[in-house]
Amino acid sequence: MIQHLLRVSHVSKHFGGNVAVHDVSFAVDEKQIVGLIGPNGAGKTTLFNCITGFFPVTSGEVIFDIKKINDLRPDEVCRLGMARTWQRVKPLGSLSVLENVMVGAFSVTNKARQAEEIAIEQLKSMGLTDYASKSAGSLPIGLKKKLELARVLATHPKLLLLDEICGGLNHTETDAILDIIRTIRQRGATIVFIEHDMKAVTSICDRIVVLNSGEKLAEGTPEEITNNPDVIAAYLGGGHHA
């Protein structure tokens, strides 16, 4: 069997009687960028929460780097090398931008000075150096998203899960973020990302997984997905404005 970096296998998540995710399987290989798309309420974020340890799965397995991580806490998952961002950004509001990124960097070092060096480096590559001493809560949304990315990259993840990192951004901001993602990829990172912006997804992903009503609808290359009639029906016919 081929060794994948992340393997999601028959994962289901129920909330009481509601089935949010049903029997979803897919795999991510190293250095791939995989897009996770689907209409609102398709279960994308719930799946992310299951993979990263925020929700326990109802059934199924999540395997990261040969290790079963179903029962791990989010912080353990992060220290194994899988890091995530949030759809609704979560800046540590009263800390400075630099300190936010330092918090991420502390997962790879115990020394404040080293953490600061890593953070300064990250801010530079993200073009946030000028804002280093600003309080994170005061940034506009576009910069908050960048900060979130810088912070999560400071944990030096092997696998990056991005939850609508372009959500709420205008075209220029979106392009800036996509550029950053391409750079990260060149450095050899593996990325799974949830996105609504169809153009963003197809322009950057190697493979796409489509969720609908909690179930996997299709999986394939961007070309296969854009031509898949089921996807078109569910995604566009579902009244979604991509």
Task: By CB under 8 A, name the binding residues for another protein.
Answer: 15-16, 52, 54, 73-76, 78-79, 83-84, 86, 90-96, 99, 102-104, 106-107, 110-112, 115, 133-135, 138, 151-152, 155
Tell me whether residue 21 or residue 153 sits nearer to another protein (CB atom). Answer: 153
Percent composition of the chain: helix, strand, coil (DSSP 3-state, to 5): 40, 25, 35
Work out how close the CB of 89 gets to another protein at its nearest, in angstroms, rounded to a whole number. Answer: 9
The distance of closest approach from Cβ of residue 162 to another protein in the complex, given in angstroms and rounded to an integer, is 12
- Within a 10 A sphere around the Cβ of 2, how many other Cβ atoms? 6
Distance of closest approach, residue 73 Cβ to another protein, in angstroms: 7
- DSSP secondary structure letter of residue 138: G
Nearer to another protein among residue 10 and residue 73 (C-beta): 73
Indicate if the alpha-carbon torsion angle 241, 84, 151, 103 is positive or negative. positive
Rank residues 9 and 135 by Cβ distance to another protein and give the closer one: 135
Place of tokens 């400071």: 154
Q: What 3-state class would DSSP assign to 156?
A: coil
> In this complex, which beta carbon is closest to another protein, that of residue 25 or of residue 114?
114
Distance separating alpha carbons of residues 47 and 226, to the nearest angstrom:
22
Name residues whose C-beta falls within 8 Å of residue 215's C-beta, 6 or more positions apart in sequence: 22, 23, 24
59 vs 94, beta carbon nearer another protein: 94
In the complex, minimum distance from the CB of residue 79 to another protein, in angstroms, rounded to a whole number: 5
In contact, 3 and 18? CB cutoff 8 Å:
no
- Pair 8, 170: CB distance under 8 Å: no
Q: How far apart are CA 235 and CA 242, in angstroms?
A: 9
Q: State in angstroms the smallest separation of the CB of 234 from another protein.
A: 27
Task: Report in angstroms how near the CB of residue 1 gets to another protein at its nearest.
Answer: 30
For another protein, the closer CB: 55 or 240: 55
